[in-house]
């Protein structure tokens, strides 16, 4: 009952597992994406990512990640701090200090504007954009050829579009014939997620979701 409440009630086991993995990815964000797929696809690790996770069609997960230069991300954070401080000073009627912070904030906003004209920070003017398409399969040697053919059309690594299959096979399934179709075993997935708990990287909420995902996968 606990797992149903967290991950939803789906008839197909693959949909249940995919939903569970989707929740883990949503809770962990870039931390989990990098741990699972960073090395496989040479994803940028020294930047901050904003993730949009959706189903293209079950059980495929689509991750869209916008890469933000660290210096710009830092400026945006500083601007948010200034905004909170300005509000506090205005409430205290310390208008001179509020005006000083407004000036500093405005100068930072001008610098950000040089990178993102019109402050289209997370929209049109992306520095880098990549997509991950994740297909989860729960039986060995069970990849559907028709489904694979459709998924292959999504894969274009040179354009930042990556496709990976997660299966219980001990070796990469023979049907995945090119480097454009990456593969990982569910055993490796659970080991990577468990390592986030073991090294203290996962907060209490992410730890809980990982543990429930591992239990569900082991059923």
pLDDT value of residue 11: 62
Range ranked top by mean pLDDT from 8-12, 23-27, 195-199: 195-199
Comparing 36 with 10, the larger pLDDT belongs to: 36
Whole-angstrom distance, CA of residue 161 vs CA of residue 158: 7
Q: What's the length of the chain?
A: 219
Which pLDDT tens digit goes with each residue over 34-91?
A: 899 888 888 766 555 555 565 555 456 777 666 666 677 778 788 889 999 999 999 9
Q: Are strands 48-55 and 60-68 parallel, antiparallel or unpaired?
A: antiparallel
Listed in order, strand segments (DSSP E) in the chain are 48-55, 60-68, 128-136, 161-167, 181-185
Task: Determine what percent of the chain is predicted with pLDDT higher than 70.
Answer: 76
Which pLDDT tens digit goes with each residue over 137-149?
A: 999 999 999 989 9
3-state SS assignment for residue 142: coil
DSSP one-letter code for 84? H
The mean of the pLDDT values for the chain is: 80
Tokens describing residue 197: 């708990």
Comparing 160 with 59, the larger pLDDT belongs to: 160
Does the pLDDT value for residue 189 go beyond 90? yes
pLDDT value of residue 212: 92
Give the architecture (CATH level 2) of 2-69+127-217.
3-Layer(aba) Sandwich (3.40)
Does the pLDDT value for residue 123 go beyond 60? no
Range ranked top by mean pLDDT from 67-71, 122-126, 128-132, 134-138: 134-138
Nearest to 181 by CA among 166, 169, 168, 193: 166
3-state SS assignment for residue 156: strand
Whole-angstrom distance, CA of residue 69 vs CA of residue 175: 38
Task: Determine what percent of the chain is predicted with pLDDT higher than 90.
Answer: 40
Nearest to 28 by CA among 173, 176, 164, 209: 209
Is the whole model's pTM more than 0.85, yes or no?
no
Whole-angstrom distance, CA of residue 56 vs CA of residue 180: 19
48-55 β-sheet, strand order = 48-55, 60-68, 128-136, 161-167, 181-185
To which residue do tokens 């400026």 refer? 75
Cis peptide before 59 (omega within 30 of 0): yes
Q: What is the mean pLDDT of residues 12-27?
A: 83
pLDDT value of residue 77: 80
Q: Are strands 161-167 and 181-185 parallel, antiparallel or unpaired?
A: parallel
pLDDT value of residue 34: 86
| Interior angle at CA 132, CA 137 and CA 160, nearest 5 | 140
């Amino acid at each position: 009952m606990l797992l149903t409440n967290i991950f939803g009630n789906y008839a197909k086991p693959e949909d249940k597992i995919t939903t569970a993995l989707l929740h883990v990815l949503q809770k962990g964000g870039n931390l989990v994406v990098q741990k699972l797929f960073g090395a496989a696809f040479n994803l940028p690790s020294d930047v901050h990512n904003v993730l949009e996770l959706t189903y293209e069609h079950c059980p495929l997960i689509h991750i869209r990640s916008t890469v933000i230069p660290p210096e710009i991300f830092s400026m945006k954070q500083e601007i948010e701090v200034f905004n909170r401080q300005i509000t506090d000073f205005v409430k205290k009627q310390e208008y001179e200090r509020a005006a000083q912070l407004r000036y500093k904030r405005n100068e930072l906003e001008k610098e950000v504007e040089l990178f993102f004209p019109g402050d289209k920070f997370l929209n049109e003017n992306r520095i880098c954009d990549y997509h991950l398409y994740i297909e989860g399969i729960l039986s060995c040697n069970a990849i559907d050829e028709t489904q694979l053919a459709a998924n292959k059309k999504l894969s274009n690594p040179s354009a930042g579009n990556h496709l990976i299959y997660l299966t219980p096979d001990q070796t990469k399934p023979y049907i995945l014939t090119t480097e454009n179709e990456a593969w990982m075993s569910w055993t490796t997935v659970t080991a990577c997620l468990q390592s986030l708990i073991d090294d203290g990287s996962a907060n209490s909420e992410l730890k809980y979701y990982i543990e429930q995902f591992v239990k569900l996968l082991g059923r």
